[in-house]
Structure 1
Amino acid sequence: MKILYVYQTLARYGGVERVLVDKMNYLTSHYGYEVYILTRDQGSHQIPFPLDERVHYDDLGIRLHTQYAYKGLRRLLTKIKLQCLYEYRVSKEIKEIKPDIIIGTDVMPARSLLRHKGKAKLIIESHSMYRMTYAEPTKNPIKLFLNIMAFRAYRKADMLVSLTEGDANDWKNNNHNKRVCVIPNVVNLNTTGRFSDLSQKNVIFVGRFAKLKGIPYLMEIWKRVQVRHPDWTLNIYGDGEDKEKYADIISSLNIIVHQPTKNIHEEYCKNSIFLLTSISESFSLVIPEAMSCGLPVVSFDCPYGPRDIITEGKDGFLVPQYDVDAFADRVCYLIENKNIRLQMGMAALTSSQRYAAEIVMPQWKKLFESILE
């Protein structure tokens, strides 16, 4: 079986990039599929995660982002030129590869893949949720038209794969997709052989300093926790465009900010509770990552990932969205009750195994075989 992935770039240390590489490696090494990956804008950047040498990789060399070096009419003309170049090159590659299945994500131009896929089946992966891609408001008539056309194309895909039940229902009910299934992400689970003993007076947050990660709520929560437990520390692993905005408040609290790391499981093991304050999540890879190190989780019940992963009161707590007082109370409850922490940490460790490649990838194999029948 020939599987072709089409994506924008594998240059970032991002969750989607890690998931795609892990899946391609597994399909090649365990099922013997002939796997190809085409990127659009990779340029000279190295792929940050190890890609199996049997995976066929090529970059189309479009570099669509270069349009933003210009303004006005020149930017528009550059965009049209690059889009036409993309259409030509992706069509040429598809004709040469002759894939059985093409997989794109919701950030890729689904209309182009539909036009050029030939006899191949098209699968779209929803990594950013219906409500974050389709429902994003815009008054620009060109963008509005392109959105409408793109999501009309999504309805024509042979399958749309969502990460959560909530997102799948949005696609079915709001975009009227008739072919939708749910397959969760493969998660990079803890393989260090070490787990947190939950005795450290440390709490961990992993995420970008960005609006969607709910950083203002995190700051307010920690203010409340620190009043009751001034000997505990919040460790933040992340970077981002808003980092400097919070420098003053961070310096006034017991918070340490660390750079993102490849060895995040080692850092989870130095902490006792994991926090997630996101406004929305398509899945939230960091929750089962932290769980696999034995950490109980406290998270806002945001759409949609946390509710699919956390079992309330068993391996973590789901807090009503934006209720910082209730969130802080849950954190303090875990701080004050080590036996509960230990019970929930053990349950979290077991729960995280649902997202191991050995559990998730057979679902992809079954999907591939079913749409080729």
Structure 2
Amino acid sequence: MKTIIIPINTLAEKRGGLVKAAVQKANLLSQEKDYKIVILVLSYQKHLLEVVMDMKNDGKLAEAVDVINVIEFLNPNPSNRVKNLKIDEKKLTKIRDGKNYRFYDNGIYVMFKNVNKVNGRIEFIDHFKMGRVRFLREEFDFRGNLTRYVEYGNKNTATMHRYVDKNKKCFLSIWIDEETHEWKRAIDFNTGKEYKGMGAFYIDIINKIVQNFENPVIFSLFSEKLKNIPEDGKNLDYIISKLDSNVKKISSLHNTHLLDPYNNKNEVQPIFRDLFENTNFDRIVVLTEAQKKDIESVFNRDIEVIPNSCDFPIREYNVGKDINRIIMISRIDAKKRVDLAIEIMKIISNKDPKLYLDFYGFGYKDELEEEIYSKVKDYSLKNFNFKGFTSNINEELQKSGMSILTSDTEAFPLTIIESIANNVPCISFDIKYGPKDMIKSGKNGYLIEQNNIEGFADKIIECKERLKRGEFKNISSTVLNISSDKVKKQWIDLIESL
């Protein structure tokens, strides 16, 4: 029996392609009877158990997949009972605010109780001191158990997390940087050990977790800097490389290793240079032959190629589709270059005002998301619509004339394959890596020189004209089809070779 451990930062259906790929890998390998599959969630998620239950009920996560939260692993006395919260409200004046409540003590605002609008459960309770200054939040899971205290500083941002067991006893404290919101240091009160950096914390705790399993094999799927692992150079690859030698280690890249502008194979991001020169990983895997070739031409390292499975069902051409509708499926992230999509639609608005774009995806409520929304507003664009997250991608594609991808870089953009499988041509910049493997320019979409927004807009208009002539009706036959059985066999062969 081997235990396959797949760390991710958070788990939810509404997440980007990386989490989707991790869940896909977990589901695929869970079909192998000799493998135990564990998804290891690194960050705190108070509703994680509920998320797992919902995903399994919806068939999005295989029943055989176990999910462990690193923070909750340290909880010596977890509670599984539903609790009715009791708040001392006798001396307070309660004022209803929608489904929420505000509490006053002789006219002074002292407490706010947030209630889930769907199920009526308490999500959190905020406490205030004189001057409406928040100093403490109590957070509750979906069973009504208190799980965490969040302390706030003078800037109304978190300065400390205190995680508590069923007896409200703190088992873990984490210091938070008030300016950057990054996790800085931690104390595990079970052992009395203080960690002066989150890298050391995660190395220690993940080591403890994996030693509970037989023949552990652990994946590293992402290399980005995280707020809960903020130290320079100490990303997930670094942490996994420092685990005990009996743990087999696989780094599986799902993004580019190149520096911006992502087109020079010799200009490698430092974190990936460290990875390729690191001898602690048993295997390094990428998604395309092109990326393998670029890495091996610079580094003395053998690289494996295992793509994501993409055996999407081929769908009939929808004769009732709106050929004026362009669809974009993406996160609002710097590398996705949603700003270029806006510039393209600005050009389109002057050339063909009937064309419009529906954007499906989500952002992170950060400065970039604000900039994207402001840009559309500043341009007074009527042809760019934010539609939010959808789990019905195929249904939305079927209604669309074409799809677009404006990223600076990708690794293996499944949205292109989903589009073509629905007989919807895709227009993309010719970037590293993936689009060139999927799009046959002129046959099932178009590849455009990177950052050429005028050329991109022209191809959108050309695509519409060809749709009007009845072209692109059977492009699903050109889709890149990689069966899940083939991918599963590749992963099993690799794992068994360790």
TM range, normalised to the smaller chain?
0.7 to 0.9
**Bigger RCO of structures 1 and 2 (CA < 8 A, at least 6 apart):** 1
Partners of 1:342 and 1:45 lie apart in 2 by 47
Identity %: 25
Partner of 1:218: 341
Partner of 2:236: 109
Q: Following TM superposition, by how much is the alpha carbon of 1:316 offset from its aligned partner in structure 2, in angstroms?
A: 1.6
Q: Structure 1 residues 29, 277: closer, same or farther in 2, change over 3 A?
A: same
1:76-155 matches, cutoff 5 A: 76-78=184-186, 80-107=196-223, 108-131=235-258, 152-153=277-278, 155=279
Answering whether residue 11 of structure 2 is matched by residue 10 of structure 1, we say yes
Deviation readout 1:81-105 (Å, 9 max, x if unpaired): 5333322221112221133522112
Unaligned runs of 5+ in 2: 73-160, 162-171, 187-194, 224-234, 263-268, 364-368
Partners of 1:71 and 1:257 lie apart in 2 by 30
Residues 124 and 161 in structure 1, CA contact (< 8 A), matched pair in contact too: yes
Partners of 2:489 and 2:356 lie apart in 1 by 41
1:318-329 matches, cutoff 5 A: 318-329=447-458
Q: Which amino acid aligns with 2:66?
A: H
Selected match of 2:70 from 36, 60, 80: 60
Partner of 2:413: 284
SS at match of 2:38: strand
Partner of 1:364: 491
1:1-373 matches, cutoff 5 A: 1-2=1-2, 3-11=4-12, 13-29=15-31, 33-46=35-48, 47=51, 49=55, 50-61=60-71, 67-70=175-178, 76-78=184-186, 80-107=196-223, 108-131=235-258, 152-153=277-278, 155-174=279-298, 176=299, 178-187=301-310, 189=312, 195-197=317-319, 199-200=321-322, 201-240=324-363, 241=369, 242-249=371-378, 251-338=380-467, 342-343=471-472, 345-347=473-475, 349-352=476-479, 354-369=481-496, 371-372=497-498
SS at match of 2:200: helix
Q: Structure 1 residues 25, 132: closer, same or farther in 2, change over 3 A?
A: farther
Partners of 1:356 and 1:310 lie apart in 2 by 18
Partner of 2:125: none
Partners of 1:54 and 1:322 lie apart in 2 by 44
Q: Which amino acid aligns with 1:323?
A: N
Q: Following TM superposition, by how much is the alpha carbon of 1:227 offset from its aligned partner in structure 2, in angstroms?
A: 3.0
Q: Which amino acid aligns with 1:152?
A: E
Range with greater deviation from structure 2 (58-67 or 179-188): 58-67
Residues 256 and 409 in structure 2, CA contact (< 8 A), matched pair in contact too: no
Q: Which amino acid aligns with 2:8?
A: Y
Partners of 1:188 and 1:127 lie apart in 2 by 19
Aligned residues: 356
Q: Which amino acid aligns with 2:297?
A: N
SS at match of 1:103: strand
Q: Following TM superposition, by how much is the alpha carbon of 1:353 offset from its aligned partner in structure 2, in angstroms?
A: 5.2
Q: Following TM superposition, by how much is the alpha carbon of 1:216 offset from its aligned partner in structure 2, in angstroms?
A: 2.9
Range with greater deviation from structure 2 (7-16 or 75-84): 75-84
Residues 298 and 318 in structure 1, CA contact (< 8 A), matched pair in contact too: yes
Residues 163 and 184 in structure 1, CA contact (< 8 A), matched pair in contact too: yes
Q: Following TM superposition, by how much is the alpha carbon of 1:29 offset from its aligned partner in structure 2, in angstroms?
A: 2.4
Partners of 2:21 and 2:354 lie apart in 1 by 37
Q: Structure 1 residues 247, 313: closer, same or farther in 2, change over 3 A?
A: closer
Partners of 1:332 and 1:313 lie apart in 2 by 13
Q: Which amino acid aligns with 2:10?
A: T
C-alpha RMSD over aligned residues: 3.3
Partners of 1:269 and 1:32 lie apart in 2 by 40
Residues 198 and 271 in structure 1, CA contact (< 8 A), matched pair in contact too: no
Partners of 1:149 and 1:257 lie apart in 2 by 39
Q: Following TM superposition, by how much is the alpha carbon of 1:365 offset from its aligned partner in structure 2, in angstroms?
A: 2.3
Q: Structure 1 residues 77, 224: closer, same or farther in 2, change over 3 A?
A: closer
Q: Following TM superposition, by how much is the alpha carbon of 1:173 offset from its aligned partner in structure 2, in angstroms?
A: 3.2
Partners of 1:346 and 1:322 lie apart in 2 by 29
Q: Which amino acid aligns with 2:27?
A: N
Partner of 1:139: none
- From the two aligned structures, give the one with the greater helix fraction: 1
Q: Following TM superposition, by how much is the alpha carbon of 1:66 offset from its aligned partner in structure 2, in angstroms?
A: 5.8
Deviation readout 1:123-148 (Å, 9 max, x if unpaired): 10111221159x9xxxxxxx97x776
Residues 334 and 341 in structure 1, CA contact (< 8 A), matched pair in contact too: no
Residues 317 and 474 in structure 2, CA contact (< 8 A), matched pair in contact too: no
Q: Which amino acid aligns with 1:9?
A: T
Residues 438 and 480 in structure 2, CA contact (< 8 A), matched pair in contact too: no
Q: Following TM superposition, by how much is the alpha carbon of 1:149 offset from its aligned partner in structure 2, in angstroms?
A: 5.0
Residues 5 and 36 in structure 1, CA contact (< 8 A), matched pair in contact too: yes
Q: Which amino acid aligns with 1:40?
A: L
Q: Structure 1 residues 219, 111: closer, same or farther in 2, change over 3 A?
A: closer
Which structure would you say has the larger Rg? 2
Q: Which amino acid aligns with 1:290?
A: S
Q: Following TM superposition, by how much is the alpha carbon of 1:336 offset from its aligned partner in structure 2, in angstroms?
A: 0.7
Deviation readout 1:292-351 (Å, 9 max, x if unpaired): 2111111100121211221222222111111122212211111111277643x522x234
- From the two aligned structures, give the one with the greater strand fraction: 2
